[in-house]
Amino acid sequence: MEILGTQVGKAYSLTDVAEFRRSAGIEDLDVETSDNVLWIGAGPHHWEPE
């Protein structure tokens, strides 16, 4: 996962995404619907095994 151009780790669920954004100080962002989130390969409700 990348936030503001910095790689912060790999997210395996929406919980991981939420934790990464909170750690970056981004509190008010709906990762499921925001145009500021780019999902590559799937989406917020579909996670592929590694």
Q: Is the pTM here over 0.85, yes or no?
A: no
Q: How many domains does the chain have?
A: 1
Q: What is the mean pLDDT of each run of 10 residues along the chain (50 residues)?
A: 87 88 88 81 73
Query: Which residue range is the domain that position 10 belongs to?
Result: 1-50
Q: Is 1 helix (H, G, I), strand (E, B) or coil?
A: coil
Q: Give the DSSP letter string of 3-50.
A: ETTEE----SSHHHHHHHHHHTT--S--TTT-TT----SSBTTB----
Predicted pLDDT of residue 44: 82
pLDDT for 25 equals 92
